[in-house]
Structure 1
């Protein structure tokens, strides 16, 4: 149990006041919004009625006090995002509960990036791209839509599909990644993923999602699978049993960023597409802070010079990285082009 020093409420606060037919009245005040690195205040006050025997204060369902009812919390330990606060007051034979929240924003605005176009390659415009990864000189790609989802091995230079299997028609395929010569492939709303042998594309396993309800994007570090679910959360999974072990909430210095889609881990940072936007977010996987934003709308313009995109969500979706040669590849849903680019800080 951590010990927290007493703290006067000096920041912007949110207050919840309760009164009941039994004559008890309470006020739970918290710092409504603050930034990472600052203190967040919690104060519980009983305004009317016999004094409670004890008060337990919880943040995200973890108790944070001993006997004190006024606290200052370290937001570096809380982490970014929205955190639930609750106070339980105990009386003989009964308890009373109050709820509030604390929202922690990133402490710095993200850097802004443009891009330099290095190369352009053909890409199958029938591919509703969901996942993209570079491995041993080839691109591996998953496509979506129920009844149309597939896993592919692709020649980068020609766009030719060299190897392909289709997903069972009842599933909507989503993102994928490759770790230890195994392909991990997510589905959208079935809360199920599949595991394949890299060389043969033979299915060798499956897994269920524990806490997140959907599967969107997938990448990996040396020790974990990293997953998005369409919210502002990035999940970390044990690659041995695919269990979700923790998550971080993704925030800028102003707001949460949701609809996180296809992702790739590049030089220790998570690069993420945001659904229905032609941009890449650069996210610190330890904190969830958005450290950079790259505007890639110009790439969609290059695609539409040669083809008509039929649907609203035919946008940037697909990030792959060749670490050995420092090459960054991007494409989009139904895009007839694959681009090699270099991000340039503005």
Structure 2
């Protein structure tokens, strides 16, 4: 007889103690915490530098004092390196059939992705000489190197960031990126800073800061304030952290200007 009473009493206790929300139609369901909205930031311009207006920028990165930049479009794709704001000291052109995309430097070597050619190119980071090519599945968009985890992070225009082996580009795992609880698609050019990734959102004036453990967008930077300062023919696409500082270089496709900035409240 005592066993018969235990289940009903326990069920009543659970019904009373569970938090619930009441919908307009009378349905009661367990409440879920709302997704936290990302912090809203803006850019503080510290320096304005010239940028090649012919460069259809696909990737931007600073390593060992050098600014590396990759460009796209069939017949115009390249990778170049030099001092920020000056003509590049080294440059490598891709064959006309390849559409260049993101780049990242890993010590003495660097990776350059291609868009739909399904190939990734490894180069000498000093001379930009091609060392080898590897098959690359899907579309190549952005890429950056997380030194803390010894892995590269790539994007393909979806809401996913894919973590890859830096030697073979083999997929290790992936995380889906959200903004306010919703999938954030069109992740494009990437910049790794510690455990976070900054990503340009293709076709917008936004740069997002992403926690690579959870995929949650923790901050959004709106860069519309610099658009009027640049004779811009294309969209925002280029973000490079300046090592040892809280500063970044940002530019866009066919912009005549590049900016050294901070992200501030």
Q: Same fold (TM over 0.5)?
A: yes
**Structure holding more strand per residue:** 1
Q: Deviations over 1:166-189 (max 9, x none)?
A: 112111100000012211000001
Match of 1:113 in 2: 41
Partner of 1:281: 208
Matched residue SS, 1:183: strand
Aligned runs of 1:87-166 on 2, under 5 Å?
107-156=35-84, 158-166=85-93
Larger radius of gyration: 1
1:299-314 equivalence runs, <5 A? 299-303=226-230, 307=231, 309=233, 314=234
Alignment-derived partner of residue 170 in structure 1: 97
Structure 2: how far apart are the matches of 1:11 and 1:162?
64
Greater Cα offset, 332-341 or 265-274: 265-274
Name the one with the larger helix percent: 2
Determine the C-alpha separation between the residues in 2 that align with 1:191 and 1:245.
Answer: 18
Q: Match for 1:328 among 245, 248, 252?
A: 248
Q: Which residue does the alignment assign to 2:224? A: 297
Alpha-carbon distance change, 188 to 166 in structure 1, aligned in 2, over 3 angstroms: same
- 5 Å-filtered alignment, 1:1-346, equals 107-156=35-84, 158-210=85-137, 213-222=138-147, 223-303=150-230, 307=231, 309=233, 314-345=234-265
Distance 1:288 1:308, change over 3 A: closer
Q: Is contact 2:232-2:254 (8 Å) kept?
A: no
Distance 1:169 1:276 in 2: 25
Q: 1:308/1:123 Cα in 2 relative to 1: closer, same or farther (>3 Å)?
A: closer
- Do 1:209 and 1:244's aligned partners in 2 also have CA atoms closer than 8 Å? no
Residue 268 (structure 1) shift: 2.3
Residues 283-327 of structure 1: per-residue CA shift (max 9 Å, x gap): 001111011101101111110xxx362xxxx11110111222443
Matches of 1:323 and 1:154 in 2, distance apart?
Answer: 16
C-alpha distance in structure 2 between counterparts of 1:308 and 1:333, whole Å? 8
Unaligned runs of 5+ in 1: 1-6, 13-30, 39-105
SS in 1 for 2:180: coil
| Separation in structure 2 between the aligned mates of residue 327 and residue 290 of structure 1, nearest angstrom | 19
Q: Report how far residue 240 of structure 1 moved.
A: 2.1
- Flag the structure with more relative contact order, 1 or 2, with Cα contacts below 8 A and sequence separation at least 6: 2
CA pair 200-301 structure 1, distance change in 2 beyond 3 A: same
Is the Cα contact below 8 Å between 1:141 and 1:154 reproduced in 2? no
Runs of 4 or more, structure 1, over 6 Å off, are 7-12
Secondary structure at 2:91's aligned position in 1?
Answer: strand
Alignment check: 8 A CA contact 1:124 1:159 kept: no
Deviation digits for residues 53-99 of structure 1 (CA, Å, limit 9, x no counterpart)? xxxxxxxxxxxxxxxxxxxxxxxxxxxxxxxxxxxxxxxxxxxxxxx
Question: How far does the alpha carbon of each residue in 1:171-217 deviate from its partner, in whole angstroms, 9 at most, with x for none?
Answer: 1100000012211000001221110011121111222234xx21100
Structure 2 length-normalised TM: 0.85
Q: What is the number of residues matched between the two proteins?
A: 240
